[in-house]
Amino acid sequence: MTLDEQLKKMAQDWDLRAKENARYYVNTERQDWTDDEFFTSGRRTVEEEILTDMTNICQGKDPKQMRVLEIGCGAGRVTNALSELFGEVWAVDVSAEMIRQASAALAGKNHVHLIHCNGTDLSGITADASFDFAFSTIVFQHIPSYAVIENYVREVNRLLRPGALFKFQVQGDTTIQSTPEDTWLGVPFSDARAVKMADECGFEPRYRHGAGQQYFWLWFFKRPSA
């Protein structure tokens, strides 16, 4: 399978999932999310992963003065909560249908920019390369390619200001058998592989939590010299 074929399949499979039941595939805790429950679950993610970590994330900046980036925004579950906290939010997703649903849910929020991307880079982001923070949750666990994930990490590095944080998850369970065709099960990262990726993409992998588990959190700080 070529990279182009794989990217096309990611877009098609996620469009199908989004048309069938976007909110279920975004968060499989429920089949029948109400608006309120769905966006409350996004606020819970922000409470748990961002509000508890403001020193690393804001580095003394007022959140309302910060421009942030989200990779794999789905139907806008977390994007909405990010938009309640930060001054400017840019979010990308490989699925046009997910972006359509997120755009409908967040209509009227002029500080939110939702971009349908090609599944591997951030060329669609037209803002200056001066992002203050980047975030991604339950996305790279679904990407069956190290090249695609590593390219995103390099791209985030390009867009962040020096010193800024990319906080994200990868699949940490190294017993997972991912295949190139399956766009549900992403490739796993050992701790050593995560550290190598940080080094190669211009980041300091300062903190890591959950190695060996499905939700392996990484705190990558952009190296000043990168």
Binding region for ligand SAM (CB under 6 A): 10, 14, 26-27, 72-74, 77-78, 92-95, 98, 117, 119, 137-139, 142-143, 148
64 exposed, middle or buried (CB, 10 Å; 0-12, 13-18, 19+)?
Answer: exposed
Separation of alpha carbons 218 and 221, rounded Å:
10
Q: Provide the minimum distance between the beta carbon of 72 and ligand SAM in the complex, in angstroms, as a whole number.
A: 3
Residue number with CB closer to ligand SAM (49 or 204)? 49
Cβ closest to ligand SAM, residue 18 vs residue 165: 18
- The minimum distance between CB 212 and ligand SAM, in angstroms, equals 21
Our CB check for ligand SAM shows the closer of 162 and 182 to be 182
Shortest distance, CB of residue 166 to ligand SAM, whole angstroms?
14
Q: What is the DSSP string of 91-110?
A: EEES-HHHHHHHHHHTTT-T
- Identify which of 152, 145, 172, 158 has the alpha carbon closest to the alpha carbon of residue 202: 158
Task: In angstroms, give the least distance from the CB of 138 to ligand SAM.
Answer: 4
Contact assessment for residue 69 and residue 136, using Cβ atoms and an 8 Å cutoff: no
Residue nearest to ligand SAM (CB): 74
- Beta strands 131-136 and 160-170: pairing type? parallel
Task: Choose between 88 and 95: whose C-beta lies nearer to ligand SAM.
Answer: 95
